[in-house]
A = this chain, B = another copy of it.
Amino acid sequence: MFIDTLIEKIREKDNPSVVGLDPKIEYVPSFIKEDMYKKYGKNLKAVAEAILLFNKYIIDAVYDIVPAVKPQLAYYEMYGLEGMRVFYETCKYAKEKGLLVIADGKRNDIGSTAQCYSAAYLGKTDIDEGISEAVFDVDALTVNPYLGVDGIKPFIDDCVKYNKGIFVLVKTSNKSSGEIQDILTQEGRSIYEIVAEYVESWGENKKGKYGYSCVGAVVGATYPNLAKILRKILKNSYILVPGYGAQGGTARDVAHCFNYDGLGAIVNASRSIMCAYKSEQWKNVYSEEKFYEASRAEAIRMRDDINSALRDRK
């Protein structure tokens, strides 16, 4: 099961954090960029090759210290067909290095269409009678719950069938997330609480050997007080926590998403790791040519920062 493997990798590496691979060409060091512009011209092909190489450098730098990577699909779709190829190649490379891959796509649709998304990322696509193929074949996918259970069930079915996972948006990290998610119902409960209860119920009877289900939740690091409430509702669900680092969430903030045994959450950072070589903390320690060492240093700092906050909480 995905969630069991995730927990085992978290324990093995003593690291409940994932590296977000949300690359923009602006993040790629000049020496890689210029090299590709020279080779292919200033076009999408050059940009794609530069980003793929950048991603591989970062994966090489962190694969032995993190359990998973989280590529954000928007950043690949942005570069068109070449970008989607980079997404595919990046996932493949990460899996070869023993990393779990959580595709952040926030996909959602009515049942029959959700089934197609699920086939694309978690399950298999039918080619002809008796012949099917895993396409993007990642380990987990983020999904949006606005359409209710019949848009979620096809993903869950594939999670069970193919040992995969999903993370359902509950409370997102952005400023305006409350416009819908914080609305109070007639019973005085918020939409995010109701969605959290759905998530918990959708994962019932789908638990792995450590008690967590294949249906996880997304709860932003930027709302630590809500995280406390949601951690209680989401008894058997793992929480994927974006918003640490560049978005302003601290290790103390994210600690609320964890259970007291140190399990129950996995924290993502993207920009702060990918662009570590440009940061105040690391830019004078590592040259641009050694950008990946800055990424590794930042990934280690993040791991230690979160682990220390978890220890302090005990």
Residues of A within 8 A of B (CB): 22, 24-26, 33, 37, 42-44, 46-47, 72, 74-75, 77-81, 83-85, 88, 106-111, 113-114, 116-117, 119-121, 125-128, 131, 133, 135-136, 144-151, 169, 172-181, 183-186, 188, 191, 194-195, 198, 242, 247
Q: Looking across the interface, which residue of chain B has its beta carbon closest to that of A182?
A: B148
Closest Cβ of chain B to A38, distance in Å, is: 12
Could you name 23 residue pairs across A and B whose Cβ atoms are closer than 8 Å? A25-B126, A33-B128, A43-B127, A74-B109, A74-B113, A74-B116, A74-B120, A75-B116, A77-B116, A77-B117, A77-B121, A77-B135, A78-B120, A79-B120, A108-B144, A110-B247, A146-B172, A147-B174, A147-B180, A148-B175, A148-B178, A183-B183, A184-B186
A118 to chain B, nearest CB (A): 9
A187–chain B nearest beta-carbon distance, Å: 9
Does the CB pair A80–B74 fall under 8 Å?
Answer: no
- CB pair B128 A148 closer than 8 Å: no
A42 to B132, CA, bound (A): 10
For A144, list chain B residues within 8 Å (CB).
106, 108, 144, 146
Give this chain's copy count.
2
- Known contacts being A74-B117, A80-B120, A135-B79, is A149 close to B191, with CB within 8 Å? no
Other A-B pairs beyond A74-B107, A78-B135, 10, CB < 8 Å: A26-B126, A78-B125, A80-B135, A81-B84, A110-B247, A146-B181, A147-B174, A148-B181, A150-B174, A151-B172
Instruction: Name which residue of chain B comes closest to A128, CB basis.
Output: B42
A301 to B131, CA, bound (A): 36
Closest CB in chain B relative to A45 CB, distance in Å: 10
8 Å CB contact of A198 from B47, B75, B173, B179: B179
Q: How far is the CB of A68 from chain B (nearest CB, A)?
A: 19
CA distance A133 to B46 in the complex (A): 13
CA distance A81 to B79 in the complex (A): 13
CB neighbours (8 Å) of A247 from chain B are 110
If A108-B106, A110-B174, A185-B186 touch, whether A47 touches B150 (CB-CB below 8 Å) is no
- Asked if B81 contacts A85 (CB within 8 A), the reply is yes
Taking a contact as CB atoms under 8 Å apart, the answer to whether A191 and B188 are in contact is no
- By a CB distance below 8 angstroms, the chain B residues around A145 are 146, 180
On chain B, the residues within 8 Å of A116 by CB distance are 24, 72, 74-75, 77-78
Distance, CA A88 to CA B195, complexed state (A): 35
